[in-house]
Amino acid sequence: MSTLSLKGPYWVTVRQHRRVLWAVPALVGASLAATVALRAWSGTSESDRMDMSTEYYAWELFRLCVMYAGNTMLFLPLLVGAFVAGPMVDGELESGTWRLALTQSTTAKAWLGSKVLVAAVVSVLGSTALIGVYRLGWSRVSGSWQLHWADRGPYEATGPVLIGYCLLGVALGALVGQLVRRTLTAMAVTGLLTGLVLLVLGAPRWSFLPVVTRTVPYPGDAGPRLPGSALMMDTGYLSSTGERLSENSCFNPTDPTAGCPADLNITARYLDFHPASHHWPTQLIETSILLALAAAALYAAFRVVHARHP
């Protein structure tokens, strides 16, 4: 990574962490080479995947690689946050080398800003490139087992939400690194907080948009059909009053074919789902929330540095 056009604390930051920064394009290049090679080796038609030939095993290997790659990319924001909190911020605070920067006509805010900006730019560029590489592989195997667009892992790895989590990791790292003042502890705390946000924010993501509902009369049709690639959320029965009853309401263990009891007044069956078209709106909503959280954490980080070094 060239430092010729950088000046002041930005040049110092890039120079200090040049080996790690060079590792980002190396990782992207290796991922791209592996993806292209596996795509070329795997089968190209449905028949290739079903006849237990060499192409079938190659395609299955490719599918597994894409599946595990999506799950692995979930750890990228944790690693970004831990690196910012540890070597970039807390490492200098703990060793006292940051004081040297303050003697070179550099303010404490400029020192922290250089760390944040360099980490944010590299994180955005690196995660965007990895998303592009992942989508190159995803386009070949999407929709297969454990590779649904709404699954944990593929969902984050195929859209801007991963960039949002990386930026949140940068902001949390800048804040925690100043508060903890122990490199390894700061890395662990930042990784834990970023992972906690991943879990907590992932739980309600399918409540951001209203579900689409299909109904069919009862008795009659066996039930509403789920559109291809849709994410099913709920299914059951509707009574004459519009009350929703669970799928098990009509189950009779002694006679599974008996149907629904007359006293329930069942008039229809319903199916709630998210179509594939909800993928990008949900991604943008979740990314907006992440950017707001990152902005709040970054504001707090600069307030801390201003309070300690006005």
* pLDDT level of residue 88 (50, 70, 90 thresholds): confident
Give the H/E segment covering residue 232: strand 231-239
The pLDDT, as a whole number, for residue 47 is 46
The pLDDT, as a whole number, for residue 2 is 47
Q: What is the mean pLDDT of the chain?
A: 86
Other CB atoms closer than 10 Å to residue 211's CB: what's the count?
17
Check whether 304 has a pLDDT greater than 50. yes
Q: What is the pLDDT of residues 92-105, one digit of tens each?
A: 777 666 666 666 66
The pLDDT, as a whole number, for residue 52 is 56
Check whether 12 has a pLDDT greater than 60. yes
pLDDT above 70 covers what percent of the chain? 87
Q: What is the pLDDT of residues 205-219, one digit of tens each?
A: 999 999 999 998 887
Q: What is the mean pLDDT of residues 221-228?
A: 79
The pLDDT, as a whole number, for residue 117 is 92
The pLDDT, as a whole number, for residue 105 is 63
C-beta of residue 3 within 8 angstroms of C-beta of residue 15: yes
* pLDDT level of residue 165 (50, 70, 90 thresholds): very high
Residues 6+ apart with CB under 8 A from 8: 104, 106, 110, 114
| DSSP 8-state symbol, 238 | E
